[in-house]
Structure 1
């Protein structure tokens, strides 16, 4: 089966945390979407986000970097000291947003690692901070928003 959606854009998010044994790389995923749906690779867009930070997503640009929206901020923190890292240094991603007001979701330290690539210098022309996700912290608890309160009922 091949669908012809060559005029479409595929916007996807969510990691492979609970599916590590069948995870595929970003390039492989994009190639298969292109082949199956006919959507050009440059219109297969990934975003980084989490349910705990309602309304904020960090989409890919056409150069493959994540961009921080105006109502959010990220800090890359040293894994050992939690002090802010410099440009290009790997560390834990902390996401901040002005949107959550009914719960303590304004600043969340994730178990994902990344690095800031730069400020205002992305080849795509967008201004502001742009960064990349590197991986999940080793031995981080594997869970997603759908199974945070999962209970084993003996099934």
Structure 2
């Protein structure tokens, strides 16, 4: 039996206490796999005084040396031949600064099972057909970003009656189709089929603000939903309180707060985090999160802000077992939430603002500005 099987098929996807021993065994075996198969990973960990014997003895996920996501934007780090990877994706960026991530069949399978169980736990799978509105780029050969693939996969949670993308390609690249988007939303509002709106919180916010400026009110059918993901990226200065998003969503689209779902993740990490009814990102059994001091990188305790270190042993194609993001976050005890899930939850505070790090929302600023201009024509 593969060491990842027991972890992915555990009884409760959020029961970390029952899975601690299984998780750490999977981490040890995953680290050992990469140390054997990836000489660059072996060299990186060796430079930190970490050997195979150390990896076989780790008792805490925070003991595994983490690799910054920025490293993957400049270096390929593979533990299997590229030819054996069945799917590849990149993070978005400018100037060629992108992470290139690949999954072999087994890694893709286990990552998919883990994600599917989280999504099912939060009731996002449905047999009721829906219309999808995607606040992003349509799929295409020139667009192989992970966020584009993720958004496409999100339209498979329920049968798709239609897919409307907010951006369309013209002679001069992608441009927002704000009027077409509003026309589609109005049309959906006159029907009975629910609508699921998918996109970055920033995209959603700017759309709703344009609707507010132009006093546009649409009431979408019952069971409609907003599924936001990807964070605010370089728009962190424009970040608004989630309650403002909920207010605007209900006022202008008729979607209540209870039908708002947010996701968190990173292209370099196989885990998926979906917020609970209290809008907290609880950590599933297939992952752990360590918060590290921004100066020393030493782990800090609950309630302290630091860099988010994501840990998961599900991928064997690349050493993604422990990656250090440029997100700032706080880890809280599960009992502080009140939703009934006892696993700790992650609160995202913002980003470090390192100028070299380009995100999946790169280039979105001009697109959103154009959307604003289009709305007023």
Give the TM-score range, shorter chain: 0.7 to 0.9
> In the alignment, which residue of structure 1 is the partner of 2:269?
53
Query: Which consecutive unaligned segments of at least 5 residues does structure 2 have?
Result: 1-216, 363-377
Pick closer, same or farther for the CA change 1:84–1:99 going to 2, 3 Å.
Answer: same
Which is higher, the Rg of structure 1 or of structure 2? 2
Higher helix share: 2
Asked whether the 8 Å contact 1:118–1:131 carries over to 2, the reply is no
Partner residue in 2 for 1:33: 249
Deviations 1:34-79 (A, max 9, x none): 223211112211121112213x222211222211111011001111
Q: Label 1:100 to 1:126 Cα distance change in 2 as closer, same or farther (>3 A).
A: same
Structure 1, gaps ≥5 residues long: 148-155
Report the TM-score, using the length of structure 1 for normalisation: 0.81
8 Å CA contact 1:89–1:115 kept in 2: the answer is yes
Map residues 80-99 of structure 1 onto 2, 5 A cutoff: 80-99=295-314
Task: Specify the alignment match of 2:118 in structure 1.
Answer: none
After TM superposition, give the deviation of residue 19 of structure 1 in Å. Answer: 4.0
Of 4, 11, 15, which aligns to 2:227?
11
Counterpart of 1:151? none
Distance 2:361 2:315 in 1: 20
110-119 or 137-146: which moved more? 137-146
Picking from 67, 81, 100, the partner of 2:282 is 67
RMSD: 2.2
2:345 is matched with which residue? Answer: 130
Q: Distance in 1 between matches of 2:358 and 2:280?
A: 25
Cα distance, 1:20 vs structure 2: 5.0
The answer to whether the Cα contact below 8 Å between 2:308 and 2:328 also exists between their aligned partners in 1 is yes
Greater relative contact order structure (CA < 8 Å, 6+ sep): 2
Higher normalized strand content (fraction of residues) = 1
The whole-number CA distance in structure 2 between the counterparts of 1:98 and 1:5 is 41
Distance 1:146 1:52 in 2: 16
Question: What is the TM-score when the length of structure 2 is the normalising length?
Answer: 0.36
